[in-house]
Structure 1
């Protein structure tokens, strides 16, 4: 897949799609899977403290944040 050319204007979507595909194929052996799950768990724990945020939303927010930071670290 590395030989495919990136479509212009959709760099983030392209990168996210390929990173997610790699995470799904390789499971826990992929370098992004464990940090994303760890931040999801931290988000879920933080959501327990906040009365207006549910645990699934906290998990999604934590995992989404770390996934974004894995793609765009700066």
Structure 2
């Protein structure tokens, strides 16, 4: 059974992530996942700037990566 929030879910994380990323790249800011991923990336960058031994880039990647993962696998 597929979840209504993920109509293209076929059970493979790599395939689902690829499909989601392709949609984000194709639709830009009109895609429902783009803005949350960018916001979480920005929050991660701010947190990375405040924490010692963590860079802005690492915070950006961690924040965006976490939200992207939660968009692909919300459970």
TM over 0.5: yes
Deviation at 1:55, TM superposition (A): 0.3
TM-score norm. by structure 1 comes to: 0.85
What is the Cα-based RMSD across aligned positions, in Å? Answer: 1.5
Secondary structure (helix, strand or coil) at the match of 1:39 reads helix
Aligned partner of 1:30 in structure 2 is: 31
Aligned partner of 2:63 in structure 1 is: 62
Q: What is the total number of aligned residue pairs between the two structures?
A: 67
Structure possessing the higher radius of gyration over alpha carbons: 1
Which runs of at least 4 in structure 1 moved beyond 6 Å after TM superposition? none
**Structure 1 unaligned spans of 5+:** 1-5
TM-score norm. by structure 2 comes to: 0.84
**Structure 2 unaligned spans of 5+:** 1-9
